[in-house]
Amino acid sequence: MTTAAQSNEVSERVDLWLRMYRQMLAIRLFETQVNELYTRALMPGLAHLYIGEEAVAVGVCEALHRTDYITSTHRGHGHCLAKGASPDRMFAELLGKEAGYCKGKGGSMHIADPATGNLGANAIVCGSAGIATGAAFSAKRLGTGQVAVCFFGEGALGQGVLYEVMNLAELFKLPVVYVCENNLYTEYTHYSETTAGDILMRASAFGLEAASVDGQDVRAVYGVAARLVENARRGEGPAFLVCNTYRYHGHHVGDINREYYRSKQEEQIWKTQRDPIANLGHWLIEQKLADAGTLDCWQSELEFEMEKSVAFAIAAPYPGIDQVEQDVYA
């Protein structure tokens, strides 16, 4: 006989899967609008699209509390949104507007939102590893019960600071989870040409629990991330998680012709067979947890939300000239 507690648990799990689907779709549609803003010459500078990798940010951030910390990367819009950022203020930041999270002064690669625990994206490869580890150190010293997650790409595996902070994190048993988003390409070079040895062994050599997961399966990402996060929260120390994923677009929005470093056939296989949103949608329908009409309705709702958010950002004012020296630190 199914108890009331079991029924509630199943209901909560279904709500989680539906929420993760909507969040991944929201990130996909946000990034689609970012690409359009760039091609319409409305956005200054470049952006690095997260399309294809949505399951990593959503699966990991769903395992966190609002007060937990994250640090992000140059490809960080998905992390920001998954942790609770609002699309309208995100777009405003991308367009350099005062309504943005950093008053228009951070841009695409330096968005931060302390209210949701987002300590900031970072244009420096592995530049936030020390920040996340320091946040975990403060959480342990203060006894807040918070956990820090550090997102980075596989290119960061070539940065020495990563190994310095993992060493310290293990020595002090800090509540930090290092999440490597291995999208196969370090800019324009396959990671196998730049990264020697076993990636997981790099972390386990320091004593960290090291795990790998299919980064296109949001339920799998959540399952592993939730376990590692709660272990860290209980004081069991840091962990290292490799999420194997893929970016559908180029290294940045200007990287259009990619055939000199990866084939169109490879891209199509990932898009048609490994898409995290489509695959979760098919599973939800097969399990009779949602129907195609509901998913289509969510698509329309979120498209409208993104269009409205873009309109807000375009209409928002730029910061005044009197603010040029404010919020700038050396």
Tens of pLDDT, residue by residue over 90-102, are 999 999 999 999 9
What's the CA gap between 54 and 248, in Å, rounded? 11
Structure tokens at 159: 């940065």
- How far is Cα of residue 190 from the mean position of the Cα atoms in its chain? 21
pLDDT at 2 over 90: no
What's the CA gap between 5 and 265, in Å, rounded? 48
Comparison of pLDDT for 125 and 7, the residue scoring more: 125
What's the CA gap between 112 and 70, in Å, rounded? 10
Confidence band, pLDDT 50/70/90 cuts, at residue 69: very high
For the stretch 5-15, pLDDT in tens is: 656 777 889 99
Considering the chain, what is the average pLDDT of its residues?
96
Confidence band, pLDDT 50/70/90 cuts, at residue 109: very high
Q: What is the pTM of this model?
A: 0.95
Angle, alpha carbons 219-225-229 (nearest 5°): 145
Confidence band, pLDDT 50/70/90 cuts, at residue 4: low
CB 244 within 8 A of CB 214: yes
For the stretch 217-230, pLDDT in tens is: 999 999 999 999 99
C-alpha radius of gyration, the chain, whole number: 20
pLDDT number for residue 9: 72
* Number of Cα atoms under 13 Å in the Cβ half of residue 285: 12
pLDDT number for residue 5: 62
For the stretch 131-143, pLDDT in tens is: 999 999 999 999 9
